[in-house]
Amino acid sequence: MFSPDITVEKLNLLSRGCLVEHLDIVFTEVGPDYLKARMPVDHRTQQPHGLLHGGASVALAETLGSVGATACIDRERYIVAGQEINANHIRGAKQGMVYGTAMPIHTGRTSHVWEIKITDDLGNLVCISRMTVAILEKKKTKE
């Protein structure tokens, strides 16, 4: 399903210098129809009460959904743009890591829908998210 050139190493290199690096989101696995990444629960990702910030969970989810969609398209002709994301925060996390797994629900010509599940170190569901991604044709530059 993914382009053959998509590797964990390449995804982590592309994440340098942006929010993904700041939050220390690290891609850990590219499967036949899923992507996985982890993110620490620490001062960068916690809210004032020491719990994982819901926005950090959404940042992890959107990263996985966007990258998953990008890995499925012809990157010479198209780009992806998030259209909608929702998240249900099921359980708090105070320490350790959280792990996101993104799987496609729909991969159409002009849009994708991805489901992202985020779990804690014990495998407990922390957050479940669904993201809709637009597949947009790159604008041709005038020569």
Whether 57 contacts 24, CB under 8 Å:
no
Tell me if residue 115 is catalytic.
no
Number of C-beta neighbours around residue 6 at 10 A = 18
Residue 90 CA to chain centroid, in angstroms?
18
- Choosing from 62, 76, 115, 143, the catalytic residue is 62
Whether 66 contacts 136, CB under 8 Å:
no
DSSP for 54-94?
HHHHHHHHHHHHHHHHHTTS-TTTEEEEEEEEEEEE-S---
Catalytically active residues are 62
